[in-house]
Every structure is written in structure tokens, then in C-alpha cells.
Structure 1
Amino acid sequence: MLDDLDRRVLRLLQADPGRGVPDLAEAAGSTPARVARRLDMLREAGVITGSRILIDWRALGYAVAVSLRITLDKTQSRAFDDFLAAARRVPEVIEIQTFLGRVDVRLSLIARDLADYQRIYRAQVLELPHIADIEALMTVATVKGDESLPL
């Protein structure tokens, strides 16, 4: 589906999403018009779905990251829907994943310090509906956090 030019352009965009078309074209060894057409085609095909800015939450004063593995009370018919709707409203939850298996949901949560985490956990997390079991894993280090694809 992708040719060499597409791969070069996508690699360049992954490394620097803010690059302009002329710079992309020069780095990819093509013309700006050709690269612009390719970008349009990649967007239309759904390969490129947008661009985003990554903010380092540590630079904003958040020092604690916790992964919460949650098992829901699945005897309740709306357990997933109710839980996910409520979890989305917790500002410190930066990621929500659902799973098949013993663990139903994983929340990634950030806090300014341990006291802030304890406040968030008691006041917001424990108030989320339909929790049957919860396990907290404190992040010590992120060894790999690259979202780039091997193109």
C-alpha cells in the first residue's frame, strides 16, 4: 500500500510533525507538489488522522504516575459504560484502556506528589462506579515511550 516516498514522508513527520511541505519535500527527495498530493492521499486513506503536540506533564509539576488495573463488577449490566463515562471526567486520568481477561480496565493517572495522588485516589478513583478490585502500580521509570511506527 505504501511506497518508498510515502514511508520517507511518514518517517519524517513522525520525527517532526511540525515540518512544512517544502522541508518535507527536500528531506524526502521530492517536490513540494508531489509531497502535498501524497499527504492529501494519506489523509484521505486514514493513514494520517491528525497531528498533536506532546506535553511533558513533568514540566508542569506532575511527579507521580500510577497505573491502576481495575476489575469491574460485571454482574451490573452497565458496569463498563458507567465506569468509563465517570473515569473520563477525572482530569488526572490521562489514558484509559480496556482489556479482555481478569483485568477489565487500566487507568493511567498523574499527580503532583504522593499526597496529591492519595487525594485523587480517595476522592475520585474510589468513587468510580462498579469497581470490584483495584491494583495500583507506581511508575518508577519509563523505559520506552516511543509511539513511532517502524516504517
Structure 2
Amino acid sequence: MSKSLDRYERQILNLLQADASLSTAAIAAQVGLSPSPCWRRIDRLEREGYIRSRVALVDRAKVGLRAQIFAQIKLNAHGRANLDEFTAAIRDFPEVLECYVLMGSVDFLLRIVAEDIEAYEKFFFEQLSQIPGVQEVNSTVALSEIKATTRLPIPGAEGRHTR
């Protein structure tokens, strides 16, 4: 974490991760600032990219995306030379929520959502496996979700508002 963040800014980030709809006044009260300095800190955090965006977290099952799949992708030697093509293709698939480059026996790890296994099968055969350079795809279906969070454990964010 950047040393340029003071304890108020760390607390502000922690609060916004829990509820981005909080008003500046509510945040200010919880961290012990008046609204104006609190707003300036939030504005700085946004301008400097600490806060990338404020979003609503949608329940995927309630919108009909009941299947969650983790796919390990291995590219062939030719595919590795065209990483830009692979990453561009992945970015265009709304089903792919996350994509990570890995070190080890596979090249990428993807988190994918679909309405059901049949929808994933269609996505797999018609899109994912058709990307040039894909040698192997190992898919693992998540049976249930034990923990899922977007909240980062910000060092030094302990304050009056705990959890």
C-alpha cells in the first residue's frame, strides 16, 4: 500500500468497499472528519486511481447465471507468440469475469459464468476452444460458493467503524 495514504484515507477505502452508496457525510462521521476534508480525500482517491469505480454487485444466481466455471488454458507454442490475440478474444467474452496469466503448467486461469452447464458447453465449443493457439482447456465446475468478496484487507484501515 502506498505510504501516501493516511489512516483516514485507508478507513474511507475500507468503508467504500463495504458500501459505495454511503454519503460523504456518513463516511466523514464514521472516520472522524468533517464532510469537506472527507470529500477532498475521496476525490483524490478517485483521481489517483485508488478507487477505480463504484459499482453495484449483482447476485449472479438471481439473474440466472447459476453455473460458475474455472478454466485452465494451455496455449500451444504458436499460441504463446500470439498472446495479444488471445487476451483480446478473452476480453470480448462477457462470460469471462476474470482472466489471469499464470506461471506453471498452464498459461491462464479464467473465471466464467453461464446460465447452466449446457450454456457453458456451448460457449466452450463455439468460442473458447476456437481461439487460435488454444491447445488445452481444463474446466472445473464450482458446486457451491463458500466465500466471494471484492473487499480488500487494507492495511492500517482499522478504525471506529470495524466490520
| TM > 0.5 | yes
| Alignment match of 1:120 (pick from 119, 123, 147) | 123
Greater relative contact order (CA < 8 Å, ≥ 6 in sequence): 2
| Alignment match of 2:36 (pick from 33, 46, 49) | 33
Measured in 2, the distance between the counterparts of 1:105 and 1:27 equals 41
Partner of 1:49: 52
Which residues in structure 2 correspond to 1:66-145 (within 5 Å)?
Answer: 66-76=69-79, 78-145=81-148
Partner of 1:58: 61
**Aligned-pair distance for 1:100?**
2.0
Measured in 2, the distance between the counterparts of 1:23 and 1:76 equals 51
The answer for unaligned runs of 5 or more in structure 2 is: 155-163
Give yes or no for contact 1:72–1:131 (8 Å, CA) kept in 2. yes
CA RMSD of aligned residues (A): 1.8
Percent same amino acid among aligned pairs?
29
Deviations 1:97-131 (A, max 9, x none): 11122211112211111222221111112211101
**Aligned-pair distance for 1:77?**
5.8
Partner of 2:13: 10
The answer for unaligned runs of 5 or more in structure 1 is: none
Give yes or no for contact 2:129–2:137 (8 Å, CA) kept in 1. no
Quickly say closer, same or farther: Cα 1:111–1:49, change in 2 above 3 A: closer
Moved over 6 A (4+): none
Deviations 1:30-75 (A, max 9, x none): 1001101211232343322222222222111111111110110123
Measured in 2, the distance between the counterparts of 1:11 and 1:91 equals 28
Measured in 2, the distance between the counterparts of 1:127 and 1:116 equals 16
